[in-house]
Structure 1
Amino acid sequence: MPEPLDDTEIRLSAFTWLEAQVKQHGDVLPRSLLLSGFKLGGHRIPLISRQGIFKPKVLREVPISITTTTSGPYRDRMSPDGLMLYSYRGRDPQHPENVGLRKAMQRQVPLIYFHGLVPGKYLAVWPAFVVGDNPAALEFTVAIDDPSYIPSDRLHLASAAMAREGEEQARRIYVTSTVRQRLRQRSFRERVLEAYREQCAMCSLRHTELLDAAHIIPDGEPGGDPVIVNGIALCKLHHAAFDGFFLGVRPDLVVEVRKDILEEEDGPMLIHGLKRLHGVRLWVPRASSLRPDSSRLETRYDRFLAVQRGESAAAVELPDQR
């Protein structure tokens, strides 16, 4: 019979295993891998289940992970101070899963936070700490910290009071904000690649490691939202060419290569990688709700034409995207 395991040993082993999986697979992990989990002391320890708040059998009181899915009844939100809000399980503050998270807050035990990007794929972030509890709103406040601040000999880093003030609070707010940005980027990429069947819309390359989700209107500009209709799945070569205005896409989805590039003589890569795309129709999803937004494409194409004339792309006025 397997020996009982220490809580600290389980959590540190989970973090180490996740770090190895991220190095091997990237930071977006498949659900099947997380369900299978890892082995420790004769136990197999999964890290995820159907429940959003998950405590494997080897742990006594405090969950090991929390999960937000794309289709579940609960949606994570942000607090005014930039931390994450995580909904209770149900409406009973004394539900065992809610009690478990409350104990995680009181003891400042680190958790893993799995963010669902598309069905079956998750961004894993750790350590996550419960730093607030609001029974009236039926939600907890969650902060993400830097993994380097987890001592190897103990996991109870600080009291809940200490976690709400000083350097630790400032660091956690900063780390949480970077995770939010990474979540936006990864979610955008996964949703766009899924819509485009994980292939380049210009050359049909299917190796996902070489694919990006290109913004039509850049992130941070009006209309540059991380939504599928503002994205095109492109391989890294054609993404760079699109961003650099070596080529453009007309509102009717036809690719145009810049005139000076068409006239240039420079080996097979230029011919096969760029020149042969001139006049090719972009491959787009069948569903109109997933296709590139025509007004955004028009703005982007106007910028391409401006660059082709030797003008600045920034001079092209953005339309109202409301």
Structure 2
Amino acid sequence: MDLQQLFADLADVPWLLTALDLVGVFFFAVSGALLAARKDFDLVGSMALALFAGLGGGFTRDIVLDRGLPASLENPIYLAPPVLVSLLVYVGAIRPNRLNLTITLFDAAGLALFTVSGVMIAHAMGIHPVSVVVVATVGALGGGVLRDIVANEVPSIFDPRGVYVMPAFVGAAVAELVAQRGALNAFTGFLIALLIFTVRMVAYRYQWRLPGAHVTQDKDQLDRLRRLAEQAQAAAARRAARARERTLRPVFGPAEEYEDQVRVEDYDPDTQSITVVDEATRQSVRYHPETGIMDVTDLRTGRTRSYDDPEDDWVADRTTEDDAGPDRTGAGRGADGR
């Protein structure tokens, strides 16, 4: 048997596409169930998020390709992985120590498998090669985007740290080139999926970034952050003064909120510097009343910028040391990187 015939036999495996889809559904479902656990969802919420994550990409792909009833509805076996995964997480059978890293691992595996299966399905339908790449990429991203939106998270495709879309896009392009030569099969598909997974995880580990536009924040938004930080700092200073009068030790914890808009993360009675978190914009603000400097950290990217006073532009633009860490949210870290 020559090499071309071997490739043809490998590509003509009846269960190949279903197997790739099911394994991809499983991995995406695990990422959804783990995210639900991090959000303290109950069992129903965990199953819902696992279903959205596991089946969202296939739904998107099949609808775009007009394949009729999506495969996950036509074949009930697609519902098994999300339900099973949710139960395993719920009973503690899956108990990761590093939750963010584990979610990213399973998400990257699902991304890789759905990219390859999407190319196989779209290519078999005879559409234009460029359309194959687009459909495969959209289908691979669909589950993760739907999962993050439902869980009220910033979708991974918008996180500048650790490129997310490019591994799927490049992998889909490579898979289509291989398919054009009649060599896309179980073996080459696995190698391409492994390539996508590896690039995604290396990008996550080293926080690779694609170039982007450098645009300063809206002045009204900055003025709002400064006003809230100043008001919270003044209130904290008054409470500290009253506590000293009563010889009590002031307590400022993360549960303390100011006007239901910002949360006090840290307050230093000596310097009177305060750190507040604005959940609406996912930003942490470290305000220094003596100098008037306001350090603003984007909790989604870890990037910190120092704002001198309301009439000046940025005076510093830096990335914190913790920026290279695995924690996407930057929770528990002040604007000065602590």
TM-score computed with the length of structure 2 as normaliser: 0.25
Q: Which has the higher contact order (CA 8 A, sep 6+)?
A: 2
Structure with the higher helix share, 1 or 2: 2
TM-score computed with the length of structure 1 as normaliser: 0.26
